[in-house]
Structures are given as C-alpha cells and as structure tokens.
Amino acid sequence: MLRIIAALAAAFTMSGASAQQWPAKPVRVIVNVAPGGVADVTARVLGARLGETLGQPFVIENRAGGDGYIGFSEVARSDPDGYTLIYSPGSSMMIAPHIVKRADLDPTKALVPIVPTGRVSLYVITHPKVPVSNYAEFLAYAKANPGKLNYGSFGNGSSNQLAYELFKQIAGIELVHVPYKGGAPLITALLAGEIQSSLDVYATANPHIRAGKFKLLGVASAKRFSLLPETPTLAEQGYKVEGGTFFAILGPAKMPRGVVDTLNREINRALQLPDVRERLTSLGIEIAGGTPEALAATIAADVQKWAKLVKERNLKFE
C-alpha cells in the first residue's frame, strides 16, 4: 500500500502554470461513464459551480467504454496543465486493471488525485417472491439452497459483482452470478424475477423498494444512509461488508501542485453548499471531500482490498 501511495504522491509537481494563472480558458472534465448516471449528474452539478467560482466554463464530456480506460487514456495523455481532468467512479480505477490488461496504462500512476467528492453505497435487495423478510432469513434460505439462487450485477468485474462476492465470502453462502450490461437491464431482470437478488445503488433501487417491488435487507456501508435511517448496515447484522464506490476528480500526472490545491479548495467549498449537498444526497451520495493525500490513501487501500478478493475467489472476467 505504501508503494502505491508514494507513486500517487510523486505525481504532484510544482512545474508548469501557477494557480494564479489558472484557469485562463475552459476546462474539460472527462466522465468515463455514460450520460445520465449518478457520476455524470454529479460531475455536472460540481462543474457548474466551479464555472461560477473560477470564472471559466467546466465542460463535461462523456467518454464511456473500455471499462473506464477510454476516459483514463484521454486524460493521461493530455498536457498536465490543469485543463483536462477526469471525474470517475473509484471502482473503475480499482477493478478495471483486473478486467483489461493494459501494461501501457496504470490509472494509479498516470493520474494525480485531486479530491474525493462522495461515496455511494450498495443495498442488498431481493425479489418479493423470495420467501424471506429480513437479512438473517435470507442467509438461512441461501444456505439451505446452495447454488440454487442467483444474483445479478452490472456486468463482469463490476463494483456490485465484487461487493457481492465479498458478501458471499463473509456470509458463507453460494449464489450464481448473472452479469448484465448495466444497471437498467439488471433492474428489469430483478423486477421480472429472472434473478433473486442483487446489490444496487439508492438512486435506482429506492423507487422500486418504495413501491414494494423489491425487498430491502441491508446496506453494505460503514454507516446508515441519512435518507434510509431505518435500514441497518450489514456490519450491524454481523457481516462487515462495505461495497459501493467513491467518486473523485483526478488529473494527469505532473499537474502543477498549485492547480491541484486550487481545485481541491474550491470543490471542498462547493460540497458544503446546501443546494449542492441536497442534490447529491438525493442521488444517494454521501458527501466526502478531503485532501489529495487522503484520496491517494483510499485508492491504495481499495486496490489492495479488491485485488485480494479477486485472488481469493479466483474470479475470472472473460
């Protein structure tokens, strides 16, 4: 872990344009996921606020695909002058290297951390026909029917697949993995009863939970979510499983430290504004913020966590 943190920290440099000169023109923010999702909406909320405070437009551009590498590559090869940034789910940085073998690009070395903006947790949900009413009953039912239940994910190597594999490992249950191509088909499959369970985010799961179409059994998080305070964490129920992912803004390695500090300061300020906090919380985001060094440490810890799981579970992502 220390080696990863050192590599990330070494990406900072004082060379190039100073913070006083920046920004002197529009700033591109690459979002390496498709439009319309939580990451995309959050990037646009923060981009609009930064444009107001820093006096230049922050132009959001979606570069989805390649398990995040299309966006990573574009930013990594850009000039490290602070005018091309990336807004990315942390899971892309942690999981993509296990799916796409790219010797030419390691996001943890090619990008410099700027600030974590928030975190989304994953919720254990089941189809209503699964004969359980709480988490303990679900575990008992799964243990009584090993290999007969299945769970869906956003796709091979996705954040909720890995979180569910951790869930299975800790709980000692076996369910069959069914990958889908994104969140929308996953929700459709669970509504139809093609799969019995999944881990999903608040923004897409909650409307169906409120309508009684999904059962909510717990949240894979360190603490309860403010909009669902009655929902216990898995840790509270005896199983320390933390899934989900964080969102962060990063730039190409060797960005001037003065620009990094300016961005970090202004984004941290924006995250404390009531209207920004309300909008992000409504999407199921727990507001973060913090220093570049803290983000580097989070990335390093998550890299180790998921690499260990992939090895122990012998996961393949073909």
Q: What is the pLDDT of residue 11?
A: 52
Per-residue pLDDT of the chain (318 residues; tens, 9 = 90+): 555 555 555 555 444 445 568 999 999 999 998 888 889 999 999 999 999 999 999 999 999 888 788 999 999 999 999 999 999 998 888 777 776 667 678 888 899 999 999 999 999 999 999 999 888 999 999 999 998 999 999 888 888 999 999 999 999 999 999 999 888 899 999 999 999 999 999 999 999 999 999 999 999 998 999 999 999 999 998 888 888 889 999 999 999 999 999 999 999 999 999 999 999 999 999 999 999 999 999 999 988 888 898 889 888 876
**β-bridge partners, 82:** none
Q: What is the pLDDT of residue 238?
A: 87
User: What pTM was computed for the model?
Assistant: 0.86
CA-CA distances (angstroms) from residue 168 to 143, 220, 237, 259? 10, 12, 14, 43
Q: Taking the CA atoms of 176, 93, 185 and 281 in sequence, report the sign of the dihedral they define.
A: positive
Q: What is the spatial distance between Cα 149 and Cα 112, in angstroms, rounded to a whole number?
A: 42
Domains belonging to the chain, first-starting first, are 2-120+244-313 (3.40.190.150), 122-220 (3.40.190.10)
Buried b (16+ CB within 10 A) or exposed e, 225-262: beebeebebbbebebebbbbbbbbbbbbbbbbbbbbeb
Q: What is the spatial distance between Cα 201 and Cα 162, in angstroms, rounded to a whole number?
A: 14
> Letter for the amino acid at 255?
M
